[in-house]
Amino acid sequence: MTSLKIHDHPAEQPQKCSGCRDMTRPPIEIEFAFQPIVDVSASTMFACEALVRGPNGESAYSVLSQVDDANKYQFDQRCRQVAIASAAALGLDAFLSINFMPNAVYKPEVCIRSTLDAARTHGFLIERIIFETVEGEHLTDRSHLVDIFRTYKEFGFLTAIDDFGAGYSGLSLLVDFQPDIIKLDMGLLRGIDTDHVRQRIVRGVLSICEDLGIRVVAEGIETKGERDFFIAHGVSLMQGYFFAKPGFRSIPTVDETAYPR
């Protein structure tokens, strides 16, 4: 497997980049909450998204506000390691979706090593890890994101674009790279069962994704009507409070009544 080659040939390992060398600041203290992504067609949990929190459950904002250009690499690497360790400790038997910061990845083939080490240490299969990033992330170089995604796919990870439709680059990004999954921005689906404009836009996106072989996650589902619209249009992967709220340091139980009967 590709994921082993980087360890099997240490003499071929490229020189560390500046991000690896600048690790002098104390790490930001983090924990994770986990929110299920469900497969309504099978009434099962497809994945859990790891959502960064403070050590006592403080908001993501309180954590992310501590990140700057000097510590973003260290923070991004630590998030991956802690998310994998936490998911393994909780016995997650589904995919694990981890958010990453493209601007914190200097050389994807080098920066991925600590992730591979964490997966190996904690016995978490890399084939069950999804790396997702927000479409509207402040990217300085879109080609760099494409390079990261392609490298991650070569190592066996799944790839996803989060909040698709919230930014301005979504469709043009699909020209350069087709991820395994896109997660529709909740702004597109709020009240979609009664909003004909949203329905037309989302139908167009779903058609494109079907043609490109991309799976869609309807993110932010809060009502039965929203759920049923996507079921009627062939979308089985969903996430939102309608199914389960994030569990701090825990894998929450999905509300069985939220599945279609």
Q: What type of residue is 119?
A: A
Residues in CB range of 17: below 8 A, 6 or more apart:
106, 107, 110, 111
Which tens digits make up the pLDDT trace of 161-190? 998 876 655 777 888 899 999 999 998 999
Which tens digits make up the pLDDT trace of 128-154? 999 998 755 555 677 888 999 999 999
Q: What is the pLDDT of residue 254?
A: 95
Q: What type of residue is 141?
A: D
Question: Given the structure tokens 């896109």, which residue do they identify?
Answer: 182
pTM of the entire structure?
Answer: 0.88
Query: Could you tell me if 179 and 217 are in contact, meaning their C-beta atoms sit under 8 angstroms apart?
Result: no
Q: What are the boundaries of each domain within the chain?
A: 2-8+22-253
Which stretches in the chain have pLDDT values below 70?
A: 1-24, 135-140, 166-169
DSSP state, residue 136 = T
Q: What is the pLDDT of residue 121?
A: 97
Within its chain, how far is the Cα of 58 from the centroid? 20
Query: Could you tell me if 189 and 218 are in contact, meaning their C-beta atoms sit under 8 angstroms apart?
Result: yes
| Measured distance CA(50)–CA(98) in Å, rounded | 6
Q: What is the pLDDT of residue 66?
A: 95
| Measured distance CA(230)–CA(215) in Å, rounded | 13
| Measured distance CA(88)–CA(125) in Å, rounded | 10
Record: fold of 2-8+22-253: TIM Barrel (3.20.20)
Q: How many residues does the chain have?
A: 261
